[in-house]
Amino acid sequence: MFRRKNKTAAEIPQASLADIAFLILIFYLATTTINIDKGISLTLPAKGETKEVAKQNVLPLLINAQGEVLLDNQVTAIPAIKEIVRAKLLANDKLIVSVKADRETEYRVYIAVLDQLKQAVVSRISIAEPD
State residue 118's pLDDT score. Answer: 92
State residue 1's pLDDT score. Answer: 61
State residue 74's pLDDT score. Answer: 93
- Number of domains the chain is built from: 1
CATH of the domain at 66: 3.30.420.270
State residue 51's pLDDT score. Answer: 78
State residue 120's pLDDT score. Answer: 92
Is 117 a domain residue?
yes
Is 101 a domain residue?
yes
Is 105 a domain residue?
yes
Is 6 a domain residue?
no
CB-based contact 97:126 (threshold 8 Å): yes
State residue 131's pLDDT score. Answer: 73
Distance CA 111, CA 79 (A): 12
Is 75 a domain residue?
yes
List the domain range (segments joined by +) for residue 107.
56-128
CA-CA-CA-CA torsion for 34, 40, 42, 48, nearest 10 degrees?
-90
Sequence-separated (6 or more) residues with CB below 8 Å from residue 42 = 125, 127
Sheet with 58-63, edge to edge strand ranges: 74-76, 69-71, 58-63, 96-101, 125-128
State residue 52's pLDDT score. Answer: 83
Is 111 a domain residue?
yes
- From first to last of its 131 residues, the chain has per-residue pLDDT tens of 667 777 777 777 777 888 889 999 999 988 887 777 777 777 777 777 777 888 899 999 999 999 999 998 999 999 999 999 999 999 998 999 999 999 999 999 999 999 999 999 998 888 888 77
State residue 58's pLDDT score. Answer: 92
Is 73 a domain residue?
yes
Q: CA Rg, the chain, in Å? A: 31
